[in-house]
Amino acid sequence: MEYSASEIAGFVNGEIVGNPAAKVSELAKIEEAKEGTMTFLANPAYTQYIYSTNASIVLVKDDFIPEKPIKATLIKVKDPYVALAGLLELYQVQQPERKGVSELSFVPKSTRIGKNAYIGEFVSFGENVSIGEDVKIYPNCSIGDNVNIGKGTVVYSGVRVYQNTSIGSACTIHSNAVLGADGFGFAPQTDNNYKKVAQIGNVIIEDNVEIGAGTTIDRATLGSTVIKKGVKLDNLIQIGHNVVIGENTVMAAQSGVAGSTKIGRNCMIGGQAGISGHLTIGNDVKMAGQTGVSSNIRDGQIIMGSPAIEASQYRKAFIYFRNFEKLVARIDELEKELKRLKD
């Protein structure tokens, strides 16, 4: 479908600078855009491209002032990235909606399926599963006994949901995620072997949570592993047994949280961060990528490094890390000079 600049401006509450009749049918990156596409400028590092882009329409911040002529029509908005997110959501809503239960799925009589749900081919349900209204479960998923999935949740192909897992409303579970596998519990024995500790708890996913492809969340030994509402987990993340992740916390790819750690709300955790077990991470904490956390973290701390320290302290120390060889050479020179003076 084609949209004019005036239609788009109306949707994002933006101001048009240029031709209100300019039309687009696709979205593109600013450096690769062609005529008939729309792009956006949110990061100042890409400002150079706005003067050469072939896009017909560009979303820009409302305080943007061009330094050179621009051939594209501009739509000024408060936050271009947020405006783009709204447009992408509109595009997604307009895609053909899937409904119905495939004849190639396995649905026991005890399964309860809400209105307008979609169950794809080769989906397998255990006993006493409850599926809410407007839920979409794509092909080749496995849903265990006593699982509950709330209204409007989307479960993409290849997801495995173990028994007794509870998933809230408006969640998105991406392909090959595993929810509710055994926690890593083994008791050491006198003969250097390990005895497996039964994991009889479950996983609770609250509302509006997104879980990335290949992410695994282990069920609790006792009680529950809890992912609270609004949490966003990237791809390839490991969440250990009995972990609790607070509301609206976000974690980037390849991060890992060991068992029984409690993470607060509104935290931002960078890629490949590693958090040891049985810790308490406060609210509003920020961790840089590859941070290694081995002790409790207070509310509002910004940390980096391994073992983790305050980011400001790390940056100061890093100056010395980079010049370590020079410092050693300087110390050697001073020692030789001191020895010469003594002699």
pTM: 0.84
Choose between 337 and 277: higher pLDDT.
277
Flag whether pLDDT at 329 surpasses 90.
no
Contact criterion met (CB below 8 Å) for 205 and 243: no
- Length of the chain (residues): 343
At residue 186, the pLDDT reads: 94
SS (H, E, C) the chain: CCEEHHHHHHHHCCEEECCCCCEECEECCCCCCCCCEEEECCCHHHHHHHHCCCCCEEEEECCCCCCCCCCCEEEEECCHHHHHHHHHHHHHHCCCCCCEECCCCECCCCCEECCCCEECCCCEECCCCEECCCCEECCCCEECCCCEECCCCEECCCCEECCCCEECCCCEECCCCEEEECCCCEEECCCCCEEECCCCCEEEECCCCEECCCCEEECCCCCEEEECCCCEECCCCEECCCCEECCCCEECCCCEECCCCEECCCCEECCCCEECCCCEECCCCEECCCCEECCCECCCCEEECCCCEEHHHHHHHHHHHHCHHHHHHHHHHHHHHHHHHHC
pLDDT at 150 over 80: yes
What whole-number distance in Å separates Cα of residue 35 and Cα of residue 33?
7
The dotted CATH code for 100-313 is 2.160.10.10
Confirm whether 241 is a catalytic residue: yes
Q: How confident is the model at residue 104 (pLDDT cuts 50, 70, 90)?
A: very high
Q: What is the mean predicted confidence (pLDDT) over 278-295?
A: 97
31-61 confidence digits (pLDDT tens): 999 999 999 999 999 999 999 999 999 999 9
Q: What is the pLDDT of residue 98?
A: 86
State the pLDDT at residue 337.
87
Pick the more confident residue, 248 or 317: 248
Residue 82 has pLDDT above 90, yes or no: yes
How do residues 180-192 score in pLDDT, each as one tens digit?
A: 999 999 999 999 9
Domain 3-93: homologous superfamily in CATH: MurE/MurF, N-terminal domain (3.40.1390.10)
CATH 2.160.10.10: which residues of the chain? 100-313
Determine the average pLDDT of the residues in 315-326: 82
CA distance linking residue 146 with residue 125, whole number of Å = 9
Q: List, by residue range, all CATH 3.40.1390.10 domains of the chain.
A: 3-93
Q: Per-residue pLDDT averaged across 276-280, rounded? A: 98
Predicted confidence at residue 230, as pLDDT, reads 98
Mean pLDDT of 119-145: 98
Confidence of residue 92 (pLDDT cuts 50, 70, 90): confident
Per-chain mean pLDDT for the chain: 95
User: Of the listed 56, 241, 257, 314, which one is catalytic?
Assistant: 241
